Structure 1
Amino acid sequence: MAEALNIKDLFQMIKKRIVLIIIFTTLLTAMTGIVSFFILSPVYQASTQILVNQSKEKSELYNVGEIQTNIQLIETYSEIIKSPMMLEKVKERLNLDISNSALSEQIKIVSNGNSQIFTIKVEGADPKIAVSVASAITDIFQDEIKTLMNVDNVNVLSKANIGDNSSPIKPNPIMNTIVACFAGLIISLILTFMIEFFDKTIKVESDIEEHLKIPMLGIVNLIENKKKRKLKICNQNLKR
């Protein structure tokens, strides 16, 4: 076992443990498929886009510094959207029986560092509720920000609707099953190699030299059974 394994040895290991590999991979794939298709609840997502930009007259030009300020404000706006005050107002409007922390976990704010646009994403088990929460957050935020920040630089680019959220975003049963199949194959191969590596039983002549640390002078083949078989056949022929 101290010698480097060649490709032939590896194939022999796999062939020897092929049943283990097939069973382990099949079980892991089947279990993942069952959990993904029948146990995990589907999660839907609703999203809305918001532009942070001051309203301007036609004669006014855009100021680079003002744009950078609007971009930096997005981080502050993200904190405001997920603040307890906002969450309480959303729950009150939609009559939701849920904690602030649980509702906050369903809300994600996604923004590009160089863009004045950020997206509010809401995940939930019910697509209608996800859309309602996204819409409520947008409306309440647009109203409250005028008082909180004394600015009017928030505009809704796209509103959440049911049509875009008819399919769940997770779980993905097919992808999960494929990943589980590959994972099961890899894990079973690793187990196979580990079993062979820690197996200290003598299998071939070279193992004797490795364990005893002495050279092998010769090999005695087991031919006793063959001799007995031949003698038995000869005796039977003589009796006839």
Structure 2
Amino acid sequence: MEEMISLKEIVGVIKKRLVLILTFILGAAFIAAIVSYFVLTPEYENSSQFIVNQTQQEEEQFTQSELRTNVEIINTYNVIISSPAILDPVIDELGLDLTPEQLTDKINVSSEENSQVVTVTATDENPAQAVKIANTTVEIFQEEIPSIMNVDNVAILTQAELSENPSPVAPNPIINITIGIVLGVMLGVGIAFLIEYLDNTIKTENDIAKQLGVPVLGVISHVDENDINSHQHSNLEQTETTGRRGLNGAKKTV
């Protein structure tokens, strides 16, 4: 029974503060849309891939052990790609005004499980620059890895290409607006219950009984001036009607 009463109170507060909650929801969605479309800078990404193999061997087929070794060495390559040994030449080649740490934030290196293919994804505000960063990083890595690890087992598989109408990968307005709506609901409901909790004014006879712990014996209704005038006007009309009826009756008697 107490749970039902609590649920009714919750629904009652939401209905009472519905306008406030809707205001927060619409406001948060509007702010998220403005930020997504007019404040945040669009970012584009492009990818280049290379494959790890055993090019120094003349055998056409690899054993399972060799394939496992190639897959394990990819983890080392992922670290090397993001190191200054590779990124410093990339910065010099492209003339970027970035530090290796800043360029690392623009590059993501990934590979599928048990796969010898490594994908280097570059993100930048300029789609053409993202293509250059991805391709240059893979090319310099292929050139430098023989001197770094004394191996020659990297071959470029695919290069990044600039499409005619590149689409930004961030920001995503739909996701941002959805997040804004969720935050608006949470904030609106939270503030509604906070206001209700802090509101200790007495508005109804139930509030009196709850606050003072005594039963309500009677209620004096509030009567304003309009009610009085309306009541007097009604009584006046009733009196005039009664008078007319009495006068008509007297005429009939005469």
**Within the alignment, does 1:21 sit opposite 2:29 as a pair?**
no
**Within the alignment, does 1:32 sit opposite 2:32 as a pair?**
yes
Aligned partners of 1:46 and 1:164 also within 8 Å: no
Aligned partners of 1:44 and 1:165 also within 8 Å: no
Structure 1, unmatched stretches of 5+, are none
Count of residues in correspondence between the two structures? 236
Q: Encode CA deviations 1:50-85: one digit per residue, 9 max, x unaligned.
A: 2222135455x4222222222221121112111112
Residue 5 of structure 1 is matched in structure 2 by: 6
Moved more, 79-88 or 126-135: 79-88
Aligned partners of 1:32 and 1:180 also within 8 Å: yes
Q: Amino acid of the residue matched to residue 46 of structure 2?
A: A
Residue 102 of structure 2 is matched in structure 1 by: 102
SS of residue in 2 equivalent to 1:6: helix
Aligned partners of 2:20 and 2:188 also within 8 Å: yes
Residue 218 of structure 1 is matched in structure 2 by: 217
What is the TM-score normalised by the length of structure 2? 0.80
Q: Report matched runs for 1:63-212 at 5 Å.
A: 63-163=63-163, 166-212=166-212
CA-based RMSD: 2.7
* Alignment partners' CA distance in 2, 1:223 and 1:237: 24
Shift of 1:232: 6.3
SS of residue in 1 equivalent to 2:119: strand
**Within the alignment, does 1:234 sit opposite 2:230 as a pair?**
no
Aligned partners of 2:205 and 2:216 also within 8 Å: no
Shift of 1:237: 5.7
Shift of 1:174: 2.9
Aligned partners of 1:127 and 1:165 also within 8 Å: no
Counting aligned pairs with the same residue, the percent is: 35
CA 1:229–1:166 in structure 2 vs 1: closer, same or farther (change >3 Å)?
closer
SS of residue in 2 equivalent to 1:37: helix
Q: In terms of Rg, which structure is larger?
A: 2
Shift of 1:117: 2.0
* Alignment partners' CA distance in 1, 2:86 and 2:22: 53
Shift of 1:227: 7.5
Structure 2, unmatched stretches of 5+, are 244-254
